Structure 1
């Protein structure tokens, strides 16, 4: 039995213009996908252009904040020493070449992030302070408001390393949580009081998670580097939780800063 010839023209026999259009369609689709993938991989880390330059140098970034520095002396120094062990381990990890480590002297936990020179809009800038006010004027006005603040909660603030919470993916930080429900209520109430007094209430105010920043991402990590970072991050969290089950933090401090390397205490909140 003789088979009838196919009525479909093979691609090799198609007219030249049609063949060219066929491959251009395929090629265009592939190139578009490749372009999107390349853009995703080349995404600039959030800190670059704001807090750091792409080469890891710290960038001018003025502002103010309410924090608890990690104690380096007397009671509570064990937490600072434990973080120093993490800092000493940094050079052993190739992914750190794409990160900008913070100096240990800057280690702190934020109680309430306040104002900075780049984000001048409602919620992130103190209510009642002109949006174009110099940063020094903003610092002074917030200090004036905070002089009337009375810290009515028990110290120290008691925290623990939260080794189950995932990292934000924008650098390296130690995730912290209050030791129990009572401490959680105390800290949330403190944040609400300070937000009402300063007139600063960020969109994530109620969702804010406590942490200690150790390094900022300044270069895009490859998949293997991200996996290595996550393994190291989890190992560091586990070891810190073992070494210091409860972290004791003293009175919150109103601080000003010119960049991410130093937070200068202007007053304790008492």
Structure 2
């Protein structure tokens, strides 16, 4: 495999391409790969248990965990596999445009979660969507809408949720939908990139073969204390669209 075969999604984890430590190291997880207290809320679609999608993702994840230098990554639990649809507020990001301007930045996470749950009780969700995998990196499975209509629906969901949450992140329009697998504790040695790219390519092929459309639960507003578990508080479904 030539250096040109290394995808940008892997290159960003290379030691040679990074001069600073990983962004979330020390707040989201520590040097031992243990996840730290970082409460917040979010809207995610959990992977449906006991499905071809879950089995393929778990098998793919096991391939990555088995890599000799997998200790460079802090892997999230297989039981928490999900696609993030909209990022809520989080403890260490209490400023605009990651926090609504109409709420004090000192407001507790629990109070903000109750506020959003009340707002979402009257939320009118867009129609359901379908997604498929388009890339695999050490930290994530990158997904997008399975059809142009699905891609439009994903955008409609994010626009509608932004109105409820009261902000739009700078990457709102270009947000890359993904299923998180891990976070980097240290960057991968440049000499290891070819081996990683080979496993990542095999993993993507496995996922596309076994789960061409990913089986996800409906979007749900969740609370969390760390990156290991996301508790569903309110399922957001367009029941009229489901019955049509």
Pair in the same fold by TM > 0.5: yes
Number of aligned residue pairs: give it. Answer: 223
Matches within 5 A, 1:74-85: 77-85=51-59
Name the structure with the higher helix share.
1
Q: CA deviation at 1:225?
A: 2.5
Match of 2:213 in 1: 246
Q: CA deviation at 1:41?
A: 6.1
Q: Distance in 2 between matches of 1:227 and 1:249?
A: 31
Match of 1:111 in 2: 85
Unaligned runs of 5+ in 2: 1-14, 238-244
The structure having more radius of gyration, on CA atoms, is: 1
Q: Is the 8 A contact 1:172 1:233 kept in 2?
A: no
Unaligned runs of 5+ in 1: 1-37
Q: Distance in 2 between matches of 1:185 and 1:262?
A: 29
Match of 1:47 in 2: 24
- Pair 1:131 & 2:108 matched: no
Q: Distance in 2 between matches of 1:240 and 1:131?
A: 41
Q: Is the 8 A contact 2:82 2:179 kept in 1?
A: yes
Q: 2:151 aligns with which of 184, 209, 216?
A: 184
Matches within 5 A, 1:1-270: 43-73=20-50, 77-153=51-127, 155=128, 157-163=129-135, 167=137, 171-270=138-237
Q: CA deviation at 1:93?
A: 0.7
Q: After the TM superposition, which parts of structure 1 deviate over 3 Å for at least 4 consecutive aligned residues?
A: 38-42
Q: Distance in 2 between matches of 1:152 and 1:226?
A: 40
- Superposition RMSD in Å: 1.9
TM-score, length basis structure 1: 0.78
Q: Distance in 1 between matches of 2:200 and 2:49?
A: 23
